[in-house]
Copies of this chain bind each other. A is one copy, B any other.
């Protein structure tokens, strides 16, 4: 897997050692594309094969990975940070998130067409944009259906 080589290189470039703990955390995040795990959730998975690894190490490792650009820290206002792999080989495919305000489900939007807006902002505010986050809040298709069903049940009589 190419990701792993890039990971090792990034660690090395930044002057950090490749430890078992760091490899394991990397693998857990890498094997769960599309998920948005909290430190505790990552810890629970790590523990299965490596019960000797401590929670503090997971927190430390996530912070380090974020610093050297291996993962992104996400915030969905649920009381903890959540993480996902950054696309190590192709930064241009950054995706965004749909957050359902009813069931909390998080969907990923695989487009990123903010070029025009970014250009405008860079000129207008003299601000050098290096990254962005975009979240849409609303109702997922399931919750939309459920709401309609409830509405029908109340009106039918």
Contact = CB atoms under 8 A, between A and B. Distances in A.
A128 interface: yes
Contacts of A117: 111, 113-114
Q: Which secondary structure dominates chain A's binding surface?
A: strand
A132 B130 contact: no
Contacts of A139: 127-128, 130
A131 B117 CA distance: 18
Nearest to A135: B133
Nearest to A105: B127
A77 interface: yes
A143 B55 CA distance: 37
A45 interface: no
Interface size class of A (residues with CB under 8 A): 20 to 34
B137 A131 contact: yes
A136 interface: yes
A138 interface: yes
A101 B101 CA distance: 29
Interface of A: 73, 75, 77, 81, 98, 100-101, 107, 109, 111, 113-114, 117-118, 120-121, 125-141, 144
